[in-house]
Amino acid sequence: MTVIAVIVFVVAYVLIATEWTHKLLAALGGAAVLLALGVTDSEHAFYSHETGVDWDVIFLLLGMMVIVGILRRTGVFEYIAIWAAKRAKGSPLRVMLLLTMITAFASAWLDNVTTVLLIAPVTLLVCDRLGINPVPFLIAEVMASNIGGAATLIGDPPNIIIASRSGLTFNDFLIHMAPLVLIVLVVFCLVVPWLFRGSFEVDPDKVDNVMRLNEKEAIEDRMLLIKCGLVLLGVFAGFVGRSIFHVEPSVVALLGAGVLVLISGVATKDYMSSVEWQTLLFFAGLFIMVGALVKTGVIGELAQQVQQLTEGKALFAVMLILGVSAVLSGIVDNIPYVATMSPVVLELTKGIPDPTQAEALWWALAIGADFGGNATAVGASANVVVIGLALRAGHPISFWEFTRKGVVMTAITIVVAAPYLWLRYFVLA
């Protein structure tokens, strides 16, 4: 059974990484084979938190997708982005810095794919008006999105998986990840002018085209905006106050989605069209495959091997997880990577007596996976989405064009993150 579980997992992983088949087909196909061969069963696959589908993750994603599906109809994001571009007075560098910071902030609260889907059209509009190439702007924004998403539990799907597996709360992510993300974003702002040098020339006559955009027109239904704002406040209060309310984030998101559906009056097909069923099913398939590895003892064995390699040295383990995660998340989508690594890290934390240092393993995994997603064009779902939008707009971004910048940005962010982890959890702890 162990051999079958490993073979099925490896084959599915190769198919997901190479995209020889649709990743949903690979994940669900792998899960189906494991169930059909009896490697796992319905009890383990559907009702066990350790070896089956993590319903907290699935329903947290579902709830947030519904909320975002309604929120995006308000036009508030377009309003803010155009307002910022006008405040930048058409200076391409200032436009890039402002739009990337908006993207990073939004990504902390919305999922990264949604954020780039919202920011990319505005960016294409502003660049079109300025008569400049939007490609550097889109690449910088998706990088900012992957960095900003690391700040909170709900910002990036890998964080949701890590939170569910580790028991870390929304506030834990805010306290431990947000400060690092802020530091990295400062560095990001310093690096961007150099990384995208030569992209900021603009014809002064075209600046007026941006100044004539009317951002107020983006908001059509002010009442819907107010309703969304109130529900979002309630949802975030629920996340932050988990220790008081004792309600899981998934339940908070579902309740928020339900309330917003009731009071917004948005048609069912409109908000349901924002639910990415393929993503949710992909997660389910992954959880079943990884669960089979846990059930058959493969994950436990792998964790033991890593423990032997690190010889129980927590700092070495943290840096190893950080580095390996950054590299592997650039090669394969960071969601399957984190789904696989979470049970391994859970085992590793049991071997580290200091709880602060044990927790640092989780932060290393989150940082490596989130920031590592920037390394290549296929490192994160948001990258793939932006490349598709750019292509449709007639501005193709090649794999290497993205990766040349992505590798540099990933290296810089990991170099910033490593001393943060060392200082915070080993020197100053």
Partner 1 sequence: MGEQFPVVGLDSDAREAVELLASRRLPGLIVVDPNGSPYAVLPASQVVRFLVPSYVQDDPSLARVIDESLADQVADKLAGVTVRKLMPSEPAELPVVNHDDTVLEVAAIMARLRCPLVAVTKDRQIIGAITASRLLELVVTPH
Q: Which residues bind partner 1 (CB under 8 A)?
A: 75, 78, 82, 117-118, 120-122, 124-125, 128-129, 209, 212-215, 217-218, 220, 389, 392-394
Q: Are 171 and 154 in contact (CB under 8 A)?
A: no
Q: How far is the CB of 96 from partner 1 (least distance, A)?
A: 17
Q: How far is the CB of 111 from partner 1 (least distance, A)?
A: 17
Q: How far is the CB of 256 from partner 1 (least distance, A)?
A: 23
98-136 exposure pattern, b = at least 16 Cβ within 10 A, e = fewer:
bbbbbbbbbbbbbbbbbbbbbbbebbbbbbebbebebbb
- Tell me, what amino acid is at 34? L
Q: Are 242 and 253 in contact (CB under 8 A)?
A: no
Select 118 or 369, whichever has its Cβ closest to partner 1: 118
Q: How far is the CB of 388 from partner 1 (least distance, A)?
A: 10
Question: How big is the chain, counted in residues?
Answer: 429
Q: Are 153 and 159 in contact (CB under 8 A)?
A: yes
Q: How far is the CB of 114 from partner 1 (least distance, A)?
A: 12
Select 172 or 215, whichever has its Cβ closest to partner 1: 215
Q: Output the CA torsion sign for 144, 166, 306, 360.
A: positive
- In terms of Cβ atoms closer than 10 Å to its own Cβ (0-12, 13-18, 19+), residue 256 is buried
| Count of alpha carbons within 13 angstroms of residue 315, beta-carbon side | 11
Q: Are 40 and 51 in contact (CB under 8 A)?
A: yes
- In terms of Cβ atoms closer than 10 Å to its own Cβ (0-12, 13-18, 19+), residue 364 is buried
Q: Locate tokens 């954020």: which residue?
A: 115
Q: How far is the CB of 118 from partner 1 (least distance, A)?
A: 8
Select 203 or 217, whichever has its Cβ closest to partner 1: 217
Select 77 or 173, whichever has its Cβ closest to partner 1: 77
Select 212 or 246, whichever has its Cβ closest to partner 1: 212
Q: How far is the CB of 179 from partner 1 (least distance, A)?
A: 33
Q: Are 39 and 296 in contact (CB under 8 A)?
A: yes
Q: How far is the CB of 8 from partner 1 (least distance, A)?
A: 35
First to last CA, the chain: 43
Select 82 or 231, whichever has its Cβ closest to partner 1: 82
Q: How far is the CB of 220 from partner 1 (least distance, A)?
A: 7
Helical H segments across 273-398, by residue range:
277-295, 298-310, 314-331, 334-350, 355-372, 381-392
Q: How far is the CB of 57 from partner 1 (least distance, A)?
A: 28
Q: How far is the CB of 328 from partner 1 (least distance, A)?
A: 32
Query: If you write DSSP's letter for every residue of 203-223 in order, what string do you get?
Result: -GGGHHHHHT--GGGG---HH
Query: If you write DSSP's letter for every residue of 344-372 in order, what string do you get?
Result: HHHHHHHT-S-HHHHHHHHHHHHHHHHHH
Tell me the helix, strand and coil percentages in the chain, rounded to 5.
80, 0, 20
How is residue 238 written in tokens? 């629920």
Select 218 or 286, whichever has its Cβ closest to partner 1: 218
CA distance 63 to 45: 22
Select 75 or 158, whichever has its Cβ closest to partner 1: 75
